[in-house]
């Protein structure tokens, strides 16, 4: 592909698109946003369509699409785009199931286009520094604490409580995307999932992992946290105690901050997408999604008090 801006369409104009995708694209010279498709939302100053089918039919010059609808609906949209030979950017999580995304990988290859599973938290500014630190020492144990207030971050978003909506694993998969990047390969040994009696997805989860060399890793997810929010990964190592906090924005060793920068995750995601489009490759890591699937498969279900957002 030439160095001309990639003609991009965006599908699913909701909160994440307005908060993150549109601001990132507005500053990125690698793209020209030429169309949008959404049942309800619209993007100003470009053609808007009610469905991805209508967008693809009316905008043949599209080279790529960014799919930002809930994961339960992403597979069908991705198949349409890939079959039309468009490169596809998948918001996280990349699909409702591992097998769906595996099929999309094969379809992208068959059609000679690129597929990108966009784990945005991996692009938080201190993640690579944490990975380098852990790679330079011996880890004794690790813990993931990801606790936030769903009413603040997902107001009136009923899809997250529906089957396939992930519940607390919607933010939890962000933690897993970082953990699978900076820690040794790990596997779930036990899990408990707390389901509100009036919801079909969990509001909290308590998970024990072990790595291939026996390292213990615990994970606590909770969507009922009020006050300060917690997005932390901790590790006890021979070189000191590591805390990666703020969702990956700040790294401290033995209480001393060694890396902290402003968040720029979505600009970095779109930079990476442009790289793979122009290189003619794909970037689809399924490890975070696989861990979510394993948690649902192995987890004991606890019914807890009804939740109203």
Residues labelled as active-site residues: 92
- Are 275 and 36 in contact by the 8 Å Cβ rule? The answer is no
């Amino acid at each position: 592909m030439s160095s001309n801006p990639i003609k991009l369409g965006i599908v699913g104009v909701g909160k994440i698109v307005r908060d993150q995708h549109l601001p990132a694209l507005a500053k990125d010279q690698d793209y020209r946003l030429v169309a949008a498709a959404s049942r309800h939302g619209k993007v100003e100053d470009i053609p808007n369509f009610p469905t991805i089918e209508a967008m693809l039919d009316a905008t043949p010059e599209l080279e790529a699409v960014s799919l930002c609808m809930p994961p339960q609906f992403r597979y069908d949209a991705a198949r349409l785009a890939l079959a039309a030979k468009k490169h596809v950017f998948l918001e996280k999580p990349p699909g409702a199931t591992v097998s769906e995304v595996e099929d999309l990988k094969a379809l992208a290859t068959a059609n000679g286009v690129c597929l990108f599973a966009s784990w945005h938290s991996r692009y938080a500014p201190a993640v690579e520094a944490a990975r380098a630190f852990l790679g330079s020492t011996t880890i004794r144990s690790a813990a993931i604490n990801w606790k936030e207030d769903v009413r603040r971050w997902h107001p009136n978003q009923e899809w997250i409580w529906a089957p396939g909506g992930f519940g607390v694993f919607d933010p939890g998969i962000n933690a897993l995307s970082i953990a699978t990047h900076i820690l040794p390969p790990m596997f779930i040994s036990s899990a408990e999932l707390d389901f509100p009696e009036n919801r079909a997805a969990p509001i909290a989860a308590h998970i024990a992992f072990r790595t291939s060399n026996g390292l213990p890793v615990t994970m606590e997810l909770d969507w009922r946290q009020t006050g300060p929010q917690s997005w932390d990964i901790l590790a006890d190592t021979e070189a000191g105690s590591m805390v990666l906090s703020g969702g990956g924005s700040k790294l401290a060793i033995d209480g001393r901050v060694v890396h902290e920068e402003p968040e720029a995750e979505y600009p970095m995601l779109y930079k990476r997408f442009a790289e793979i489009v122009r290189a003619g490759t794909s970037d689809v890591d399924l490890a975070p999604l696989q861990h979510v699937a394993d948690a649902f498969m192995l987890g004991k279900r606890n019914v807890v008090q009804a939740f109203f957002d």
